[in-house]
Amino acid sequence: MRESMLDAAYQVILESGEAKSFNDMLELIAKRLNLESEEVSAKASQLYTSLLRDGRFVTLGENVWDLRKNHKFDAVHIDMNDIYHYDEDSDEEEKDKDKESEDDEEEDEEEDEDEEEDLYDELMNDEVSMDKDDAVDGFTIKESLENE
């Protein structure tokens, strides 16, 4: 039975006694299993995924891999609580930003409504003079006033 690429990776690191970059490991695996470069390239992503999932291996960063048994637990263990730490302060800051944004939008809407009301009042009190051909929203001013 043919040795798997994952088992070959284990043996390559075990026999060398040192961590290997992923690319170096691929070359050594190809030699060990007599694989063509096309076949190695086609299976590289599968091997990478297998390395991530297999508890015998650990990544040391920068795409360098070693055997977990060569490292103390504390040196290679990643506490997921550190990665996904819930920060209450940043959550409160987000809520404050959202509230400020909503307040700004409401103020803008109120200003727009006030401007529209002022313009309407000016038009109704003939404080603005316009020719009959001046159009607003497809109607002339006189037509609009006559229809009310």
Nearest-angstrom CA–CA distance, 148 and 49: 73
Average pLDDT taken over every residue of the chain: 78
pLDDT of 104 above 90: no
Residue 121 identity: D
* Residue 103: other Cβ atoms inside 10 A: 10
The pLDDT value given to residue 106: 78
pLDDT of 4 above 80: yes
Most confident of 77-81, 107-111, 137-141: 107-111
The 3-state DSSP class for residue 120 equals helix
The pLDDT value given to residue 49: 95
pLDDT of 33 above 50: yes
Q: Which residue has the higher pLDDT, 110 or 91?
A: 110
